[in-house]
Structure 1
Amino acid sequence: MKKYFINTLLLLFLIAGCSPKPEVKNNDNTVAENKIIVVSHRADWRNAPENSLQAIKNCIAMGVDMVEVDLNKTKDGHLILMHDRTLNRTTTGKGKPEEYTLEEIKQFYLKGGHGQKTRHKIPTFEETMELCKGKIMVNIDKGYEYFKDAYEILEKTGTVDQCIMKSDHPYEKVVEENGEVLKKMVFMPVVHLNKEGAEKIIDDYIKYLKPKAFELVFKEENPDVLRLIKKVKDSGSKIFINTLWPDLCAGHDDDRAIELGEPEESWGWVIEQGATYIQTDRPALLLEYLRFNRLHR
């Protein structure tokens, strides 16, 4: 609690010297709420085990709009939250999840950031969506290979509209593999703007799917990258940008905001490019910044 309080004071000190952005207003001249959507990477992993129900509960409590989770599958076909291909780093278990039944998986405990055993268990995707229902959006990062299985869980829990599936595959591959469910839930293409062929991937998705949002990744900032960001924005799709570390957003990252004391050169810059969704490892501090600038309730 003390560390969080100090960090919050630090951020407020940093932004106090910045000129607040103009208030974002609706047509009726009232201040808009949640102009920017805060997405918390692996939920609140700094204060609870990553991909845990507790980490998600923390995000709900602080007012985060969306949590990012990762999927894996057990030997008997249950989807669980798990980032790695093995249990080794984040749990007290060893080996791959598909080597264990769900009952066996539930005998293991999640590890915290310090690498030590906690009281928390590995949650299923169904448990996760039941927790999130009506409270917070969910962004599936690693989990495209379970697209159809995930959709079944979303249907069962009545949370189809609360979840985003994504992939960096081109449209042709995604529609071939998952065409029957592609338009039944929200799908977000991930496009690496510095890679050859990025514009064709964008064009194909705009033409055939008209996604609600694109996740745009760029290691370097140049005129062509800025042009493609604008192209996506002009298409009517929302823009999702990761500020987790420099190579995802050309150096406009979380640590630049906090450690270098340059929030306008990180989060402010991303917002100026048109980002509606910002995925962060500093959700509490990003929320403070946005609320100060009247961009979040």
Structure 2
Amino acid sequence: MKNFFKNLALSAAMLFSLSSYGQVENILKHLHNPNDNGIMVTAHRGDWRNAPENSLQAYKLAIEMGVDVIEVDLNKTSDGVIVIMHDETIDRTTDGKGKPSDYTLAQLKKFHLRNGIGVITKHTIPTLEEVMELAKGKVLVNLDKSLPYYNEAYQVLKKTGTLQQAIFKTDLPYQDVRVKYPVILDSITFMPVVYLDKPTAKQIINEYQKEIKPVAFELIFHKDTSGVLSDNAFIKKHGAKIWINSLWPSLNGGHNDDLAVDESNTKDSWDWLIAHGATMIQTDRPKELLNYLRKRSLHQ
């Protein structure tokens, strides 16, 4: 009888693992399918309205919510461990002071994260390895602020078996990235960040498409009058997704989350982004965006 329950538990664990991997495989199919009409959703710093930003709990809640991608911000400790921390210091988000690089991982783990209203919680600063183990088989991970740490992050992804789940990014032109990371650039999923207000925006996109055909382009714009937005077919014809941030007005020409949620104006926010080519949206309102998309059969 003891062996029966042991085998039953093992079988259940195996089934859960297989279903998790099926989950991320389905997301990857959407990511690499240029003909997919659905919209992929990224939770910015996880579900930070219900847990401390960039905490394992915030990412867990976002995954359970059904997002396709979680966003993490990379930093590094004094003993070389990649951790998740958006700011240059830990002052705002923890009960500690200073930079992550002022501490070893063991020292950094003694501090606790604050929630959205500043209350100290039981949650600690996670490592990239911990986040990838949580995300394994379930969701993609957008590596923000990652350019200085490509090599270290790459090793973590290889160790955890999650390389295909990570999206590397930078706003540098192609040649600069090629010089900085000549080897791993060809073995990672890569997304250039392009500022459309710059006159060289289309040139940067074309160069990337000529050289490596990125899986997506993250487009940032203070003004919404760019010709790239009105005529984006040249991006999609090479199979690339268009990632737009709905976080705050300066990233999207004023077509942001709060307009959709606080003012109930999706026409000038999420509707507008999708009409102008967005196939991936990074949001601070993942629950509301998912509900909006599902009602329109644009997300499972």
With the shorter chain as reference, the TM-score category is: 0.7 to 0.9
Q: Which amino acid aligns with 2:50?
A: N
Cα distance change on mapping 1:228 and 1:222 into 2, 3 Å:
same
Q: Tell me if 1:134 matches 2:134.
A: no
1:94 aligned residue:
97
Structure 2 match to 1:43: 46
Instruction: Find the counterpart in structure 2 of residue 291 from structure 1.
Output: 294
* TM-score (ref. length: structure 1): 0.86
2:234 is equivalent to residue 231 of structure 1? yes
Alpha-carbon contact 2:196-2:226 (below 8 Å) kept: no
After superposition, what is the alpha-carbon deviation per residue over 1:84-119, rounded to whole angstroms, capped at 9, x for unaligned?
111111111111111111110111101111112110
CA distance in 1, matches of 2:253, 2:72: 24
- For residue 79 of structure 1, the aligned residue among 64, 73, 82 is 82
Say which of 174, 177, 200 aligns to 1:174: 177
Q: How many residues align?
A: 266
- Rounded to whole Å, the distance in 1 between the matches of 2:222 and 2:236 is 19
What residue identity is the alignment partner of 1:59?
Answer: A
1:21 counterpart residue number? none
Match of residue 165 from structure 1: 168
Matched letter for residue 117 of structure 2: H
Question: Which sits farther off after the overlay, 168-177 or 219-228?
Answer: 219-228
* Aligned residues with identical type, % of pairs: 53
Aligned-residue offset at 1:235: 3.1
> What code does the residue aligned with 1:74 have?
T
Does the 8 Å contact 2:43/2:67 carry over to 1? yes
Distance in structure 1 (CA, Å) of the matches to 2:58 and 2:230 = 37
Mean Cα deviation higher: 268-277 or 75-84: 268-277
Return the match for 2:279 from 272, 276, 285.
Answer: 276
Shift of 1:269: 1.5
Work out which of the residue numbers 146, 152, 158 in structure 2 matches 1:149.
Answer: 152
The whole-number CA distance in structure 1 between the counterparts of 2:37 and 2:74 is: 28
Give the conservation status (yes or no) of the 8 Å contact 2:47–2:58. Answer: yes
Decide which of 194, 210, 214 is 1:211's aligned counterpart. 214
The one of the two structures with greater contact order (alpha-carbon pairs below 8 A, sep at least 6) is 1
Correspondence 1:20-59 to 2 at 5 A:
35-59=38-62
Answer with 191-200 or 78-87: which moved more.
191-200
Partner of 1:241: 244
How far apart are residue 233 of structure 1 and its match? Answer: 2.2
Which segments of 5 or more consecutive residues in structure 1 lack a partner in the other structure?
1-31
SS class of match (2:182): helix
Offset of 1:65 from its aligned partner? 1.0
Deviation, structure 1 residue 228: 5.5
Q: Verify: 1:261 aligned to 2:295, yes or no.
A: no
1:172 and 1:33, CA in 2 relative to 1: closer, same or farther beyond 3 A?
Answer: closer
Deviates more, 1:42-51 or 1:230-239: 230-239
Indicate the SS of the match to 2:183.
Answer: helix
Alignment partners' CA distance in 2, 1:223 and 1:244: 19
Q: Which moved more, 1:249-258 or 1:73-82?
A: 249-258
Secondary structure, in 3 states, of the residue corresponding to 2:181?
Answer: helix
Matches within 5 A, 1:97-112: 97-112=100-115
Q: Which residue of 2 aligns with 1:63?
A: 66
Give 2:139's aligned amino acid: I
Q: Give the superposed CA RMSD.
A: 1.5
Partner secondary structure for residue 176 of structure 1: helix
1:223 and 1:111, CA in 2 relative to 1: closer, same or farther beyond 3 A?
A: closer
Partners of 2:74 and 2:295 in 1: how far apart? 35
Tell me which residue corresponds to 2:117.
Answer: 114
* Structure 2 letter corresponding to 1:50: E
